[in-house]
Structure 1
Amino acid sequence: MAGRSRVTRESIVEHARRIVAEHGTAALTFQALAGALGVSKQAIIYWYPNKWELIRDFSLPELRIEADILIAALGPATTGADAMERFVRALVTHHLKDLGRFRMLYLAPQFDERAAAPGVVELLAPIHAATSSMYGALAERLAADPNFTGGEDPRRLAVAAHMAGIGLVTMVALAAAMDDPMAHRIEAMLDALIALLTRMPAAAQ
């Protein structure tokens, strides 16, 4: 019990952040966490019986920050196109500031086969609530401008916009990990993505 008393859920999450930032998502194991904290692997498992609980705890605060940033960015928007641009620019800019955090948040969970394990849906419910808040905020702004949506479902457009922004950052993170500079400037690619996302649908032209 001595080892367990020397660690907390907070200290485990903090060391998980450091490991991912410094060594990548593949390096995040219970054994690595135990070594970093100077305790046994069982001391980590005592607090986190499975990796998905750990993923939830280090992801949820970051997702809430992301949601707050994106919702705040929508404040001055006056049209659907303006809202879409502000949302995507804020999303990409936020994550480009810290690719280690981005990998931890959006890439690490993709490579764990336990994603379908029993109980995962309940563990991820708070994460879904955070993402839902940002989708809802953008969807509300888009719905207020039927000329922009052109009959498309505003919520679906909001989710697609978020996915597109995450895709751009994913490619930047991949290029950085391979030390392979992108052929186009990131700013130019962001501008091109926004041009695509804000192009008026045919039905509204």
Structure 2
Amino acid sequence: MADTDTRERILEVARQLLAEGGVRAVTFDGIARKIGHSKQAVLYWYPNKRALLTGLLFPWFDVEVNCALDAIAEETDRKKVIQNFVHAIASFHLQDIERFRMMYMLPQIETSQMATELLKPDMRLHEVTDLLYGRLAAKLGGTSKESRLEAFNLHASVLGLMTMISLTEAVNDPLKHAHEDLVENLAHQLSSQAGN
């Protein structure tokens, strides 16, 4: 197995374990067994759980941010910026609700040591969110504290909708409205309040 293949296979197995059994199921021994290598081979690529978590989650945050930034890159109309942003973030997460749970909900509900690692401040996450909120704030009309706060709240609003969708799916209690309709309504509500 090539070096890149080994690294990717480790992450693939870690994601499977995470989805199946939560954070406690993700162990270096368990990963090693599934990929048919020694624990030391896994530790070579990911020397600790923090490195493994970074490898698992940060690519998803990068993709989320890039989807949003691509959606607003060419737009100059403030209302369209908000609508495009809402649709891009929602679309990314609706493609894989389980991924959304791992990115945004798992750190809140797990109490294990590994989850504690997720909650530690990390400069890479700060850099990614700083880029997202900075660019969105500029598209909204400035770099002031208010524009930055608005950018954060727009993102938080979409994540709140995704949390509700995730919750209703987890308890098998479907929402009365289609996901696309909920997203469209949120985009409309947020952009209507935005002014020009």
Compute the TM-score of the two structures, normalised by the length of structure 1.
0.76
Match for 2:52 among 43, 51, 54? 54
Q: Does the 8 Å contact 1:52/1:120 carry over to 2?
A: no
Aligned partner (choices 26, 38, 45) of residue 29 of structure 1:
26
The answer to whether 1:174 aligns with 2:171 is no
* 1:120 alignment partner in structure 2: 120
CA 137–176 in structure 1, closer or farther in 2 if over 3 Å, else same: same
Q: How does 1:36-115 map to 2 (within 5 A)?
A: 36-38=34-36, 44=42, 48=46, 50-110=48-108, 111-112=110-111, 114=113
Partner of 1:195: 188
Q: 1:62 to 1:197 in 2, by over 3 A?
A: same
Gaps of 5+ in 2: none
Any idea what the Cα deviations from partners look like across 1:163-204, whole Å, max 9, x if unmatched? 111111122122222222112221221122123212336xx6
Structure 1: unaligned runs, 5 residues or longer:
145-150
Partner of 2:157: 164
Q: Distance in 2 between matches of 1:113 and 1:27?
A: 7
Between 1:96-105 and 1:107-116, the stretch displaced more is: 107-116
8 A contact 2:23–2:112 mirrored in 1: no
User: How many angstroms apart in 1 are the aligned matches of 2:192 and 2:81?
Assistant: 13
SS in 1 for 2:68: helix
Determine the C-alpha separation between the residues in 2 that align with 1:103 and 1:55.
Answer: 14
Q: Decide whether the 8 Å contact of 2:18 with 2:26 is kept in 1.
A: no
Change in 2 beyond 3 A, CA 1:85/1:141:
same
CA distance in 1, matches of 2:116, 2:170: 28
Cα shift readout 1:32-66 (whole Å, capped 9, x = no counterpart) = 43442345667655654543332211111111111
Q: How well do the aligned residues superpose, as a CA RMSD in angstroms?
A: 3.1
AA aligned opposite 1:93: S
- The Cα of 1:126 is off from its aligned counterpart by 0.8
The aligned residue for residue 147 of structure 2 is: 154
Rounded Cα–Cα distance in structure 1 between residues aligned with 2:112 and 2:78: 39
Q: How many pairs does the alignment contain? A: 189
Moved more, 129-138 or 28-37: 28-37
Letter in 2 for 1:154: S
**Relative to 1, partners in 2 of residues 1:28 and 1:128: Cα closer, same or farther, differing over 3 Å?**
farther
For the Cα contact (< 8 Å) 1:25–1:103, is it kept in 2? Answer: no
1:146-173 C-alpha deviation (Å, 9 max, x unpaired): xxxxx97111111111111111112212
- Alignment partner of 2:172: what SS? coil
Q: Please list the CA deviations of residues 61-108 of structure 1 after superposition, one character each: whole Å capped at 9, or x if unmatched.
A: 111111111111002322222111100110001110111222222222
Mapped to 1, the partners of 2:69 and 2:183 lie a distance apart of 19
1:135 maps to: 133
